Structure 1
């Protein structure tokens, strides 16, 4: 029996300890204790993510491989799905509704396929982000790691899927007489900026989806509206200004939305034709601005709730 326990049994009050006057916070500071699962500072958080960069890459590759593992065609669906969407849009907007804006097939089809592939890149990043935390609760609750690893890995997964699709896009371009030029070098900065934008919006949706799982049911309707407002299947200027008679500010607003901006640059780089001979000077500013706004803003927005993911 210890001396303190013996004194209590004997009715002797032990002398007061210096720690009795300290608050819990002061006691924790004195003995170097910290709250379990507390949010690290922003620089520490970035450092932790960098230390886990190999996990992020491996996780994104594993998700990409498993995505179509139960389908007989396997990874072919990575390019077959957006191609089938492009075929449907060509039939409806290119043939039935006359939404090609005066473009011939050799210009309109590459225009359409480029738009579908780039929009799918962002669309799937958003949809994956909504479920990034809520769909991986077992992993979140079992292991300690920066939770931003999950939505970032999903954005990288979609980039890898897009790169496979770009091979098909290359075949389409060459098949319709659009051969490589120096402008094709714009593919790299365009995809880099869109990746940063996608990662930011993926992080934003991951935080929102972690507390509101029903958001996953709502997002397909939002993304469909976004698709029509971005000119994926038709030139915005032609459809809004000439066909719908929309005021100038509506056309400018639609052309300034992020997906429309990245599609404008990519189409200018890849598609030869009278409708893609010039690129507005403000487009690059918008492309960088959207990437910085959502990339940094989405990251900070997600980080602020780091200690709450997987709880409750």
Structure 2
């Protein structure tokens, strides 16, 4: 009995063949790769780019965040100033006053332009909308790296929220613009309603452009330093302080230059807003096919910019 208890258990000898250990049974399950294991358990790559329709749905689900973020940025913009939110109206008005003195008085660009002050203020406000949207877009990703790296959300939310912030800023400025129009004898008219589709098309264009520069700025932050010079040159070529149609009548410019000036997207949206709001800016002063140009630029920049930004979705905040 004691011999049986003290006897150690006999180890089972491994199966072996003439040339070494035998192969495992043929019915044993093969080893799964990490990718197969992830697929079996429903795991996905963190931060992977979703499909384009899924990306659009994600943005729509976060529409309240985009709106709230834009409103919060606008409210905080002048929170440290004593005049507070009044600067939302005073800043573009002061810019318009400087441009009036330099260009309207010293350079006499007001010659031959009826209702020059409403003409100038409208141009300044509308171009500022595009200018600030682009400038905010260049820093939308690079200036929010903490948020981008801490939370998972569609990164296009940031450039879009900055564009929405600039639209809200423009709506404040339009209140001052209406007061200026009335003060200079421009009566309200049904054509003012045309400002709504014009602004909608411009917002689409601005958003697409902001998405493009947001991707460029995320990879090359120096874009933010170069952009003010590009935008200033663009402003001088967009008829903000001078009338494009008046200049083109007095000079025999090459046809290509004429087309470039008239089809310039900033000039297109400025002309549409002037046509909508200023009675003396009649249809004869608009370039041919101006609404077609406005829709085309909005679709090209809006759709193209969105796809361009989406293609680099998984790279933002890395490296």
Q: Please state how far the C-alpha of 1:11 moved relative to its aligned partner.
A: 10
Query: Which aligned segments of 4 or more residues in structure 1 are displaced greater than 4 angstroms?
Result: 10-17
Match of 2:312 among 284, 298, 305: 305
TM-score after normalising by structure 2: 0.88
Counterpart check, 1:199 vs 2:207: yes
Q: Please state how far the C-alpha of 1:15 moved relative to its aligned partner.
A: 5.9
Aligned to 1:69: 79
Query: How much is the aligned-residue C-alpha RMSD, in angstroms?
Result: 2.0
- Preserved CA contact (<8 Å) 1:186 1:269: yes
CA displacement 1:210-252 (0-9 Å, x = unmatched)? 0111111100000000000100000123335526x53232122
- Preserved CA contact (<8 Å) 1:200 1:296: yes
Aligned to 1:124: 132
CA displacement 1:54-112 (0-9 Å, x = unmatched)? 000000000001111111111111111111111111111111111124024xx100000
Gaps of 5+ in 2: 1-12, 16-20
Aligned to 2:282: 276
Aligned to 2:240: 232
Aligned to 1:164: 172
| Compared CA separation, residues 19 and 172, structure 1 to 2 (3 A) | farther
Aligned to 2:6: none
Q: Within 1, Cα distance between the matches of 2:77 and 2:14?
A: 69
Q: Within 1, Cα distance between the matches of 2:249 and 2:151?
A: 53
Q: Within 2, Cα distance between the matches of 1:39 and 1:249?
A: 41
| Compared CA separation, residues 33 and 235, structure 1 to 2 (3 A) | same
Q: Within 1, Cα distance between the matches of 2:107 and 2:153?
A: 51
Q: Please state how far the C-alpha of 1:281 moved relative to its aligned partner.
A: 4.3
Gaps of 5+ in 1: 1-9
- Preserved CA contact (<8 Å) 2:262 2:287: no
Aligned to 2:29: 18
Q: Within 2, Cα distance between the matches of 1:33 and 1:15?
A: 30
Aligned to 1:183: 191
Q: Please state how far the C-alpha of 1:47 moved relative to its aligned partner.
A: 0.5
Task: Name the SS for the 1:99 alignment partner.
Answer: coil
Q: Within 2, Cα distance between the matches of 1:213 and 1:50?
A: 28
TM-score after normalising by structure 1: 0.90
- Preserved CA contact (<8 Å) 2:47 2:314: yes
- Preserved CA contact (<8 Å) 2:59 2:154: yes
- Preserved CA contact (<8 Å) 1:193 1:287: yes
Aligned to 2:267: 260
| Compared CA separation, residues 26 and 102, structure 1 to 2 (3 A) | same
CA displacement 1:105-143 (0-9 Å, x = unmatched)? xx1000000000000000000000000000000100001
- Preserved CA contact (<8 Å) 1:200 1:294: yes
